[in-house]
A = this chain, B = another copy of it.
Amino acid sequence: MKSLDGNAVRTQRTRQRILARALELFNEQGEANVATGAIAASLGISPGNLYYHFRRKDAIVAELFHRFEQRIDVEPAPASSPAAAIEDLWLYLHLMLEAIWEFRFLYRGLDDLVERDRKLRESFNRIAQHKLDAVTRLCEGLVRSGAMRASREEIRALSRNVLVVATYWLSFQALRRRPGPIEDGLGHGAYQVMALVAPFLVGEAREHLDELSRAYID
């Protein structure tokens, strides 16, 4: 790593501040309703300074999407026991919903964003395919360890439903505008996704999930 002089450090810091503020404003007001000028004004920097870092708003969106993609690209590790696998899955869902919440502006205007930008559509589809594959592998692992009973076709349909519910749960809650802190929303989302998986679990894994769910319901 080459050492940075004072100017380069300042430049980097400004870039980071632009991205952080853009994310805040996009989440609050929707990406379509926030102009680059408003981001610059909100940071107290000149439009020219912002332009030096990002020529177009699309470049800011692309960089934020890239961060989202890195953020959501985690996978549950192979677990030592069925009960551990269930706990890992629950945690994994929580992290995934947290990432969606943190970058919720992407989901809010998703149709328009991918309509405008072919690369974003491809990125989104790459994420979706990764997630589908990850959930499918996870289920196959549970079947092999005897913790799940499900056919190939059931796992395919289940994986798709896991992805749809995880992707849209927070949007659905926002529409219904349920009161309560966001942590509750994330927990509820994870619970809803686990409810998709539950009927296919047997033995220890099922018992463990029921316990975790009871703790959630109470």
Q: Which residues of A approach B to under 8 Å, CB–CB?
A: 30, 32, 108-112, 114-115, 121, 124-125, 128, 153-154, 157-158, 160-161, 163-165, 167-169, 171-172, 174-177, 191-192, 195-196, 198-200, 213, 217
Contact = CB atoms under 8 A, between A and B. Distances in A.
Number of identical protomers: 2
B30 A157 contact: no
Residue among A121, A154, A157, A167 having the largest count of chain B Cβ atoms under 10 Å? A157
Nearest to A154: B195
A174 B32 contact: no
Residue among A108, A165, A199, A217 having the largest count of chain B Cβ atoms under 10 Å? A199
B191 A157 contact: yes
Given A168-B164, A168-B168, A176 B128 contact: yes
A167 B191 CA distance: 19
Given A165-B164, A167-B168, A30 B111 contact: yes
17 contacts: A30-B112, A32-B32, A32-B112, A108-B111, A110-B175, A124-B175, A125-B177, A128-B175, A153-B213, A154-B198, A157-B191, A160-B192, A161-B161, A161-B196, A164-B192, A168-B171, A168-B172
